[in-house]
Chains A and B, each alone.
Chain A
Amino acid sequence: MTRAIITRCAEALIALFLMSAAIFALRRVTGDPVALLLSDSATEADRMALTANLGLDQPLLTQYVIFLRDALHGDLGRSLIGDRQPALDLVLSRLGYSLQLAGVALVFSFLIGIPLGVMSAVHRGRFIDFAARLLALIGQSVPVFWLGIVLIFLFSVTLGLLPTSGYGDWRHFIMPALTLGLFTLAAITRLCRASMLEALNSEYVKFARIKGVSENQILIKHALRNSLMPVVTFMGTFFAAMITGAVVVETVFSWPGIGRLAYESILRRDFPVVQATVLTMTLLFISCNLAVDLIYLWLDPRMRQGAK
């Protein structure tokens, strides 16, 4: 078991290392930062000096090592805009808002998606099943930005019930979290329904009935745990959907998180900040998948054995 945990952690570190290389490479292909920093009147000498100052005259491998070293020390460069704040500080100051929103959206989609999927499977072919499947279909096919705009139009402009945008009390969370979570909610509902149906048709459920176990106990003790495993597997992917979705949702709702920061930095060609944002998202991503792996070890005894 301990060994399985260590293996998973090592895998996560390797993934993080590979991603850092990809991010480093991406920055090299987005153009010459020197040309971006200098004014049009800069001389050749100015250009050479800045190149040396930024370490861009070094071989690529050396640059990567320096990049890694700086990154490990928490130095991801400075913003090219305004008072040149450290990029990492900028990202960290926005991260909390994004995590709050993603957290609320994730909890919301799990709290509704799992019971809905389970009930849909248990009452297969009934009204609740039909309603759940319709909701799942809508949730997976409606574009996020469109949903956000429609919600604003409906609840803020027409009904005047909720604030249109920005960060504030709980009412500010409702529409962004709904918009961000709906896709995941739909995915969880479908996944949960399918795996629940599979579990309910399994031989061990049949055998549990033969043993005289009640339907409620069968649901809780036999079917639910098995049917939750695919949901847990996809939790990492769901979180990914939250982070990528955040770029659109945070922009639509003017939410001060890293998604909107990424969007703004790309528009301003503020590459160090874009890089820091992407790296932070990557880190979130990998830690989430690591957490999923660890939860899986706990849920499925077969995995513990396999990793021995």
Chain B
Amino acid sequence: MSNDIVLDVRNLRVSFGPEETRLAPVDDISFELNQGETLGIVGESGSGKSTLGMALMCLAPAAQNARIEGSIKLQGRELMGLSADEMRSIRGHSMAMILQDPMASLNPVRLLGDQVGEVITAHQMISRDSLKSRVLKAFTSVRIASPEQRINAYPHQISGGMRQRIVGAAAIIGQPQVLIADEPTTSLDVTIQAQYLDLLKDLQREMGMAMIFITHDFGVVAKMCDRVAVIYAGQIVETARVRDLFRTPRHWYTAALIACVPKLQGEAKRLAAIEGQPPRLVSRKPDQPTACRFAPRCPAADKVCEQAPPETQLANGAMVRCWHPREAS
């Protein structure tokens, strides 16, 4: 089983700011990702999802004194502590990432073909012809019609859906083992969204990639993911297989989130909401565990929740970080 683990993340922490009052948007996150698997990472805006995605690429946020700590093992190889150049050769090749806004991800003044081919030329000398054929192949595999013309086009000349497919081409041209998709469909039309998700699934199957899918959309999770990690205020509060998570959420936050998803069946009701606000960024020293972060909004919270909640391992590789997990039905 352990041979199948592509990515093993232990106690990952991203923090920034002055030493005394450091803020940690990602705090003590651990998970593993298996070969060919899709792991969803779900959470509200500001819960640290995107920072986590960037941290997995060993890219710290552009903030004062930013630091990534912990351990990220890619097929057994520790990434933390690699030199900048070694890490650069991992990016785009062993691990790739797709960002949310395709218009912003592409440089407006450079040709599409160059921006995709850059992944190759950044690391190796390659003849013009073989570079072109690889770029064309990448364009074809993301279903770009007439790729010969598109490589010489600029981002403003193509549609939003096609732009995101170009971004996808840049992500897969290096044949990564892990693809991190950070809300790749949020800025697309609904119909284009579905197409794009299908495309990602096909690519994953063809290339045998493992995928980390960052989203706030449970519909996308149900469609795409095998397992889900729910993240709250920079910490994973629950991990489970998608089916189990939807059927019996063990963490109160997960249950509340799922209750917020509007249903098609039944009578139309007011949309459910979770009372209160998520904490902004949480500041603490690694050796100073604090109370459960969801406690102020939790219906089951009591005195014991002022202590740091334990990570309880459950059946089927699931985990819940709670003193009073909900009953499995």
Residues of A at the B interface (CB closer than 8 Å) are 201-204, 206-214, 217, 221-222, 225-226, 229, 299-302, 305
Contacts and interface: CB of A to CB of B under 8 A. Distances in A.
Interface of B: 54, 57, 59, 62, 88-93, 96-97, 99, 101, 104-110, 118-119, 122-123, 154, 156-157, 167, 170, 174
A43 B123 CA distance: 89
Given A212-B88, A302-B156, A203 B122 contact: no
B62 A204 contact: no
Given A213-B122, A301-B156, A305-B156, A204 B106 contact: yes
24 contacts: A201-B62, A203-B101, A204-B107, A206-B59, A209-B91, A210-B91, A210-B92, A210-B96, A210-B97, A211-B92, A211-B122, A212-B89, A212-B123, A213-B92, A213-B118, A213-B122, A214-B88, A217-B122, A221-B110, A225-B109, A225-B110, A301-B108, A302-B154, A305-B154
B16 to A, nearest CB: 15
From A203, A212, A226, A301, residue with most partner B Cβ within 10 Å: A212
A103 B233 CA distance: 58
A207 B156 contact: no
Contacts of B54: 206
A117 B134 CA distance: 37
A212 B108 contact: no
B109 A203 contact: no
B59 A209 contact: yes
B109 A211 contact: no
Contacts, number: 80
A211 B97 CA distance: 8
A212 B92 contact: yes
B187 to A, nearest CB: 11
A206 to B, nearest CB: 7
Nearest to B91: A212
Contacts of B96: 210-211
Contacts of B119: 211-212
B272 to A, nearest CB: 33
Given A203-B101, A210-B99, A300-B109, A305 B122 contact: no
Nearest to A221: B110
Contacts of A208: 107, 118
A210 B97 CA distance: 7
Contacts of A299: 109
B299 to A, nearest CB: 39
Contacts of A206: 54, 59, 99, 105
B217 to A, nearest CB: 20
Contacts of B110: 221-222, 225
A270 B307 CA distance: 90
